[in-house]
Amino acid sequence: MNCAQMIKDIRCRLGLSQMELAGLLQVSFATVNRWENGRSKPAPAAMQKLRELCRSCNLQILEDQGLYHVIAIKEDTAYFEREEERISKKKALELFDTGMIDAFETGTFKGLAQIHGYLFSEIYDFAGKMRSVNIAKGNFRFAPVLYLKPALDHIEKMPQDTFDHIIEKYVEMNVAHPFREGNGRSMRIWLDAILKKELGQVIDWSKVDKEDYLLAMQRSPVKDIEIKALLKPALTDRIHDREVYMKGIDASYRYEGYNVYKTEELKE
């Protein structure tokens, strides 16, 4: 659906009049009326408020190339996960095809936030933003919010001149886990960008077994020798090879349980 249809759909789902929606978004009735009649579109600040309103009501706005879909998160989690994979994989391919990945900062949190924001801005309202909640995976708790900013400052200062140093930096960033979702997928692109700039190599992720990788990363905060030994043989100097990149994105997503789409199928 287009933007006008999306706004009307949300308003009707929430049982609101145009006046009531305007009040919640802190805009005028005339503004909402123009939105729904297609005469104008919400400014970024208004769209952000609309997304926040939807999230508070368990709705999610998905956007792809100017078209929108509104889903009930709790009722259609599987659909949301499929769309999240499809949209963010397309964005990952755009990073390569446009050369934008080479324009982002390398080895900094800002560069990682740029990657995360580009991948997930059409899906999550927190895309590219440092998390404000504590998170954990299994029994492992990532860096507490209280210490997250100092941890990121420390990581930025870590050297990245050798393979070992780069992997050590990657491990520390994984422990920090600065975003609410999408950390692993963003960080593997971030890691390759560092390797590409500093060593003229990237990791061919299609050669890295999922279970071996997950176990090595789980142990890496205590001992990083295993992840280094796993990734080093997968290095390749085919840094401009589109096929290597696409297979790598597919492998990276597979580590996180996303395997419905192949990146090759999503190219324009």
pLDDT tier at 54, thresholds 50, 70, 90: confident
d(CA 51, CA 36): 16
Instruction: Give me the number of domains the chain comprises.
Output: 2
- Among 62-66, 160-164, 206-210, 219-223, where is mean pLDDT lowest? 62-66
The reply to whether 26 falls in a domain is yes
Percent of the chain with pLDDT over 90: 70
Q: Which of 106-110's residues contact partners 24+ apart within 8 Å by CB, and which partners?
A: 106/160, 106/193, 106/194, 106/197, 106/198, 107/156, 107/160, 107/169, 107/194, 107/197, 108/156, 109/152, 109/155, 109/156, 109/178
pLDDT tier at 70, thresholds 50, 70, 90: confident
Mode of pairing for the β-strands spanning 202-203 and 140-141: unpaired
The reply to whether 81 falls in a domain is no
Predicted pLDDT at 76 = 61
Predicted pLDDT at 167 = 98
- Dihedral angle sign, alpha carbons of residues 73, 267, 93, 6: negative
Phi then psi dihedrals of residue 119, to 5 deg: -65, -40
146 and 19 in a common domain? no
96 and 16 in a common domain? no
Rounded to 10 deg, the angle between the 18-25 and 44-56 helix axes is 110
Phi then psi dihedrals of residue 61, to 5 deg: -95, 120
Q: Give the 3-state secondary structure of residue 202.
A: strand
- Domain carrying residue 216: 88-266
The reply to whether 80 falls in a domain is no
pLDDT tier at 197, thresholds 50, 70, 90: very high
d(CA 199, CA 159): 13
The reply to whether 82 falls in a domain is no
Task: Check whether 92 has a pLDDT greater than 70.
Answer: yes
Predicted pLDDT at 265 = 86
The reply to whether 28 falls in a domain is yes
d(CA 256, CA 214): 9
Query: What mean pLDDT, rounded, does the chain reach?
Result: 91
d(CA 268, CA 254): 22
pLDDT tier at 138, thresholds 50, 70, 90: confident
For residue 4, the tally of other CB atoms under 10 A from its CB is 17
Predicted pLDDT at 1 = 86
Residues 6-37 have pLDDT tens digits of 999 899 888 889 999 999 999 999 999 999 99
Greater pLDDT, 185 or 74:
185
148 and 55 in a common domain? no
Residues 207-264 have pLDDT tens digits of 999 999 999 999 999 999 999 999 999 999 999 999 999 999 999 999 999 999 999 8
Contacts of 255 (CB under 8 A, 6+ apart): 184, 210, 213, 214
d(CA 32, CA 17): 10
150 and 203 in a common domain? yes
- Dihedral angle sign, alpha carbons of residues 71, 73, 79, 80: positive
d(CA 151, CA 141): 14
Tell me how many degrees the CA angle 251-254-259 measures, rounded to the nearest 5. Answer: 115
Task: Check whether 268 has a pLDDT greater than 70.
Answer: no
Predicted pLDDT at 176 = 97
pTM value? Answer: 0.76
CATH code at position 59: 1.10.260.40
Task: Check whether 140 has a pLDDT greater than 90.
Answer: no
98 and 231 in a common domain? yes
Predicted pLDDT at 267 = 66
150 and 251 in a common domain? yes
Task: Check whether 158 has a pLDDT greater than 70.
Answer: yes
